[in-house]
């Protein structure tokens, strides 16, 4: 039976990649983005692959998140998998130099957006036959690691890890299952946008690390989608880049030269 999958922030980056991967598996997919134009553009790419639908939605607005659920149910009858993927990164500045507006935006999207999405999906799946799977997207900071100038983003992802653990407990006696996805470092516009105004030498250093640890969307997204579709257990954690694999990449970096950015430019 075809699964109905909702991917928030599904108009670009890893979200768009996941939407494509699920469609390739025969799923019916619903995406959202912040604007009509971004949704329309994404659907032009997705529709040839299968049954795709999308609406604009600001995940920091609970009414709009509920409307996303309602649109998916109206179009496809139910939601089997809900992935809280929408996220934003803070500018690379020290916390004291961050603007109040930006702090609010990152918290609203990354944390409140994840909460509102999980809240709507948990309630909806609790009421439908067979329940469903709610995934939250982890990232830098989820495991407690600290990196300079990533304070706001990292704090939201640390909170998401707690949210996952708490919801796993709450879902124990229901047909709803909670999971987490950690996609690692993926080469997307979101990743590189924060470096646009940085000094050249900083961009060069960052790219050296990314060429060791990062991967393309088309590599990571299908791998994640396959594991989402076979998962059965509450508390499922899907992790692309484990600590062991990261260590191995650094250990073999001198013998395994990669240039992800040259590849991306060649494909453009």
Mean pLDDT in residue range 139-158: 95
pLDDT at 116 over 80: yes
Confidence of residue 22 (pLDDT cuts 50, 70, 90): very high
173-207: pLDDT as tens digits? 999 999 999 999 887 766 666 666 666 676 677 67
User: In sequence order, what DSSP letters do the residues of 123-172 get, joined into one string?
Assistant: HHHHHSTT-EEEEEE--TTTTS---TT-HHHHHHHHHHHHHHHHHHHHTT
> Which of 101-110, 123-132, 164-173, 239-248 bottoms out in mean pLDDT, i.e. has the lowest?
239-248
Q: Quick one: pLDDT at residue 241?
A: 85
Mean pLDDT for the chain overall: 91
CATH T-level assignment (fold) for domain 4-194+216-242: Rossmann fold (3.40.50)
pLDDT at 264 over 70: no
Q: Quick one: pLDDT at residue 21?
A: 98
Q: Collect all residues with Cβ–Cβ distance below 8 Å to 65 and sequence separation of at least 6.
A: 8, 57, 59, 113, 116, 117, 119, 120
53-102: pLDDT as tens digits? 999 999 999 999 999 999 999 999 999 999 999 999 998 899 999 999 99
Q: Is 153 a catalytic residue?
A: yes
Domain ranges of the chain: 4-194+216-242
User: In sequence order, what DSSP letters do the residues of 233-261 get, joined into one string?
Assistant: STTEEEESS-HHHHHHHHHHGGGS---HH
Q: Specify whether the CB–CB gap between 198 and 92 falls below 8 A.
A: yes
> Which of 61-65, 207-211, 213-217 bottoms out in mean pLDDT, i.e. has the lowest?
207-211
Active-site hit among 153, 158, 162, 195? 153
Q: CA–CA separation, 137 vs 83, rounded Å?
A: 8
């Amino acid at each position: 039976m075809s699964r109905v999958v909702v991917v928030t922030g599904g108009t670009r980056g890893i979200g768009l990649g996941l939407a494509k991967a699920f469609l390739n598996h025969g799923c019916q997919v619903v995406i959202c983005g912040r604007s009509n134009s971004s949704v329309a553009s994404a659907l032009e790419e997705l529709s040839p692959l299968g049954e795709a639908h999308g609406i604009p939605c600001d995940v920091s607005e609970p009414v709009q998140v509920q409307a996303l659920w309602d649109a998916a149910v109206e179009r496809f009858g139910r939601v089997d998998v809900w992935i809280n993927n929408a996220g934003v990164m803070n500018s690379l500045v020290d916390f004291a130099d961050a603007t109040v507006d930006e702090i609010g935006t990152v918290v609203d999207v990354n944390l409140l957006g994840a909460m509102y999405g999980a809240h709507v999906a948990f309630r909806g799946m609790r009421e439908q036959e067979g329940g469903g799977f709610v995934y939250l997207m982890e990232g830098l900071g989820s495991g407690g690691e600290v990196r300079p100038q990533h304070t706001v983003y990292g704090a939201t992802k640390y909170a998401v890890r707690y949210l996952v653990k708490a919801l796993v407990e709450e879902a124990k006696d229901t047909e709803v299952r909670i999971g987490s996805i950690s996609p690692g470092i993926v080469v997307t516009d979101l990743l590189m946008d924060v470096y646009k105004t940085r000094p050249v030498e900083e961009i060069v250093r960052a790219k050296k690390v990314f060429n060791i640890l990062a991967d393309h969307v088309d590599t990571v997204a299908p791998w994640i989608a396959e594991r989402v579709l076979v998962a059965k257990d509450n508390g499922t954690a899907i992790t692309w880049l484990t600590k062991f694999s990261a260590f191995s990449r650094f250990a073999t970096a001198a013998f395994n030269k990669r240039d992800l950015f040259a590849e991306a430019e060649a494909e453009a």
